[in-house]
Amino acid sequence: MEKKRFVPRSFLIEVLVLAGIFTLVQYLIVSGLLNEYYQINLSSMCINIILAVSLNLINGFTGQLSLGHAGFMAVGAYAAVVVTTIYSQPFILGLLAACLAAGLAGLIIGVPTLRLKGDYLAIATLGFGEIIRVILQNIDFIGGPAGILGIPRYSTWPWLFGLTVFTIVIIVNLINSSYGRAIISVREDEVASELMGINTTNYKVLAFVIGALFAGLAGALYAHYFYIIKPSTFNFLKSFDILVMVVLGGLGSTTGAVIAAIFVTMLTAALQTFPAIRMVLYAVTLVVVMVYRPQGLMGNKEWGRRTWGRIWGEKNEPLANK
């Protein structure tokens, strides 16, 4: 038997790779080698990764099709902006407010709607997403339909990168915990997991609230990067955008969600001048993926410590023995 290491080598490699990416990009930004265009796309990438990974928790792992993710993003964005811009508090408080507000919105919406199944849930969440948007449009305090301008740019690369990694780590660890297994069992067979004594409603609401919370975080980052927010940014087409990433990457694969978020952001940037073609491509992608590869690019496979371990020759015990 191999000697147990205090810190697995694959973990060290992960940390090193992440630190490497961070330092490299930070250097490129500081030295001015990375122009504004690439910086914007890099930031969108981080925000999209947070959105896709969090929606994947709801749609992919819990199996509850939610179409209202943009609504939670809007709640987070507005909450953060109210704190930082209107009450001039520090960014960290804005982020906390965003998470709290979006999580609360997730709870309020999740508790009644998660009793619904499949199609009904999809439509109800779509409806709630739109209701959030309409409500925001009608509050004069936050600018009504015109939104809020002149938001300070607090979302710097360290914040964006750090919070993206944070989101992925939290969600991956959640999925690998006993909670995560309960959540997956709800997706696999709701009736059977209920018979095993799992309170399915609780786990569905838990996943929904955590997903909403991170969507709010992404919203806050978005608002503090692009200077301006208005309710129409967060309509259901934005929700569909996120859905495309999750479906393309594979329902139930965090790795897939990350890869798809990066890919979709690059595609969006490349087709900036032809928005209609971009949407037609999205649409065709959705249909083709569903017809020919309904499990998405990655299925429910992950690239993780075990894959790194295999590459670096570190032996992993099967999960069941741990």
Partner 1 sequence: MLEFLQQLINGLSLGAIYALIALGYTMVYGIIMLINFAHGDIMMVGAYVGFFSIAVLGSNIFAALIFAMLSCAVLGVLIEKIAYKPLRNSSRIAALITAIGVSLFLEYFTLFLLTPQQRVFPEAAFPLHKYQIGGLLISNKDIFIFALAVILMIALQYIIKRTRTGKAMRAVSLDREAAILMGISVDRTISITFAIGSSLAAAAGVMIGIYYNTINPLMGIIPGLKAFVAAVLGGIGIIPGAMVGGFLMGILETMVSGYGSTLYRDAVAFGVLILILLVKPTGLFGKDTGEKV
Q: Which residues bind to partner 1, rule: CB under 8 A?
A: 59, 63, 65, 112-113, 115-116, 118-120, 122-124, 126-128, 130-131, 134-135, 137-138, 191, 240, 243, 247, 251, 276-277, 279-280, 282-287, 290-291, 294
Structure tokens at 26: 């930070």
Least separation in angstroms between residue 289's CB and partner 1 is 8
Task: Tell me the CA end-to-end span of the chain in Å, nearest whole number.
Answer: 14
User: What 8-state DSSP symbol labels residue 84?
Assistant: I
Considering beta carbons, is residue 42 or 248 the nearer one to partner 1?
A: 248
Structure tokens at 185: 């069992």
Instruction: Tell me the closest approach of the beta carbon of residue 91 to partner 1, in angstroms.
Output: 32
Task: Give the residue carrying structure tokens 């300070």.
Answer: 152
In terms of C-beta distances under 8 Å and separation of at least 24 residues, what long-range contacts does 174-182 make, across chains too?
174/57, 174/210, 175/57, 175/61, 175/254, 179/203, 179/206, 180/61
Contact 209, 62 (CB under 8 A): no
For the CB of residue 192, give the shortest distance to partner 1 in the complex, in Å.
Answer: 9
Nearer to partner 1 (CB atom), residue 60 or residue 94:
60
Distance CA 221, CA 219 (A): 5
Q: How far is the CB of 290 from partner 1 (least distance, A)?
A: 4
Q: Tell me the Cα Rg of the chain.
A: 20
By the 8 A CB rule, do 213 and 140 touch? no
Shortest distance (Å) from residue 62 CB to partner 1: 11
The distance of closest approach from Cβ of residue 108 to partner 1 in the complex, given in angstroms and rounded to an integer, is 12
Rounded distance between C-alpha atoms, residue 94 and residue 80, angstroms: 4
